[in-house]
Amino acid sequence: MSSLDNELACELESRAKHGLTRRLRSLEHPGGCYVYVDGKIVTEFASNNYLGLAFDPVTSGRVTESDFGSGSTGSRLVTGNYTVHEELECAIAALKATDAALIFPSGYQAAVGTIPALVGRNDLILSDQHNHACLIDGCRLSRATVRVYDHNEPKHARALLSDRAQFRRCLIVTDGVFSMDGDIADLPALADLRDEFDAWLMVDDAHGTGVLGETGAGSAEFLGVRDRVDVHMGTMSKALGCAGGFIAGSRTLIDHLIGSARSFMFSTAPAPVTSGSAIGAINAIRDMPERREKVLDNARFLRAGLRALGFSVPHGDTPIIPVLIGSAQAAVALADALLDQDIYVVAIRPPTVPDGTSRLRVTVTALHTRSDLDTCLDAFDVAIRRLGWMPRFAG
């Protein structure tokens, strides 16, 4: 074994001891909410395909590879800027009701490019304790002073702003819908802090976009604070069923990012075919409000059913339903027992979530039927009988 392999094998072994091994599972999608795992077809309650658009003809076929080739051949600033990218940006700006928008190859890249383009050494960032990894990494890259406030506690954030005057700029950054908890940020309270302390508010609405709000614009629309968010971030990889990240906001913000967000400048533009699909998905969000109703209805039903079985499931209004377990090993055992019964749910363990808060992250889509949901609840019921324990999450 080489020195590198030796060293890394030790690390892998120690991770395995703590139930933290990560493996890639090969999946195939026959469509709908079903998936082939390990050679059998199972019902999936794990994806972010909330509206079922990832396998829907409305999102594909608008632009094909034969129209543009398979790649965009360069950065947007060099040879990679196509009409389809600009059309998509117009569609995003319309959805978010902002002046302008800018697309990135992924949501991750949108975050790590944008935060350092806005704040630097003499600036202050307030970041929610449960923010997504891409926001955390963006904060680190910026070299600003980062203060982490307790999850969804604007009062704590406020206390951390007492010496705001010592800093040049101040950015408050939060997930709109928290990806592993499924709760919604208290955006009105954060917007008040923005106004009071001359701060800017950035919301990563990866999971709210397309799902929440009257028009599907997301959590800021849902909470009535669209105009008080300076930087609307999102991704087309979740409810839109495509790929690519975006920032929406003022024309000035977007013009600034074009010349200073490094992950935008130094990365090849998204494949035109992907951006074409995303336009189809945004049109679907506008034209198919019944999908939003369906997914939220399904979420309410499944959440209530899991609570009735005795699981520790926080209240919430989104399709992300965390079933809190505690230890990583127990979470994996429950997920395995569900897979045995053809229900695919994923155990979420550290470092994605804090130690001792491992969970099953159950998600629903607009494609699940009432009978799919009943089957899922039955499987949970059988699983705890077979395992002989009921998770009592002490929190």
Ligand X SMILES: *Cc1c(COP(=O)(O)O)cnc(C)c1O
- Catalytic residue numbers, as ranges: 179, 207, 238
Q: Is residue 237 near ligand X by the rule CB under 6 A?
A: yes
Q: Is residue 248 near ligand X by the rule CB under 6 A?
A: no
DSSP track, 165-208: GGSS-EEEEEESB-TTT--B--HHHHHHHHHHTT-EEEEE-TTT
Q: Is residue 50 near ligand X by the rule CB under 6 A?
A: no
Q: Is residue 183 near ligand X by the rule CB under 6 A?
A: no
Nearer to ligand X, 112 or 379 (CB): 112
Q: Is residue 108 near ligand X by the rule CB under 6 A?
A: yes
| Nearest Cα to Cα of residue 136 among 156, 106, 116 | 116
- Please select the residue that binds ligand X; options are 85, 96, 194, 207, rule is CB under 6 A: 207
Nearer to ligand X, 85 or 132 (CB): 132
Q: Is residue 47 near ligand X by the rule CB under 6 A?
A: no
Q: Is residue 361 near ligand X by the rule CB under 6 A?
A: no
DSSP track, 246-296: EEEE-HHHHHHHHHH-HHHHTSBPPPHHHHHHHHHHHHHHHH-HHHHHHHH
Q: Is residue 113 near ligand X by the rule CB under 6 A?
A: no
Q: Is residue 175 near ligand X by the rule CB under 6 A?
A: yes
| Nearest Cα to Cα of residue 128 among 328, 362, 354 | 354
Q: Is residue 264 near ligand X by the rule CB under 6 A?
A: no
Nearer to ligand X, 98 or 318 (CB): 318
Q: Is residue 219 near ligand X by the rule CB under 6 A?
A: no
- Token pair belonging to 314: 């926080």
Distance CA 337, CA 325 (A): 14
Phi, psi values for residue 118, rounded to 5°: -105, -35
DSSP 48: S
Stretch that binds ligand X, among 13-21, 76-84, 89-97, 103-111 (CB under 6 A): 103-111
- H or E element at residue 308: helix 289-308
Nearer to ligand X, 43 or 237 (CB): 237
Stretch that binds ligand X, among 78-86, 101-109, 153-161, 162-170 (CB under 6 A): 101-109
- Please select the residue that binds ligand X; options are 114, 142, 152, 235, rule is CB under 6 A: 235
- Please select the residue that binds ligand X; options are 47, 60, 106, 263, rule is CB under 6 A: 106
Distance CA 214, CA 289 (A): 9
- Please select the residue that binds ligand X; options are 103, 115, 118, 134, rule is CB under 6 A: 134
Distance CA 342, CA 379 (A): 8
Stretch that binds ligand X, among 80-88, 102-110, 277-285, 352-360 (CB under 6 A): 102-110
Nearer to ligand X, 130 or 291 (CB): 130
**How distant, in Å, are the alpha carbons of 10, 217, 234, 310 from that of 244?**
36, 17, 9, 38
Considering just the CA atoms, what is the radius of gyration of the chain in Å? 21
Distance CA 245, CA 235 (A): 4
Q: Which residues bind ligand X (CB under 6 A)?
A: 106-108, 132, 134, 175, 179, 204, 206-207, 235, 237, 245
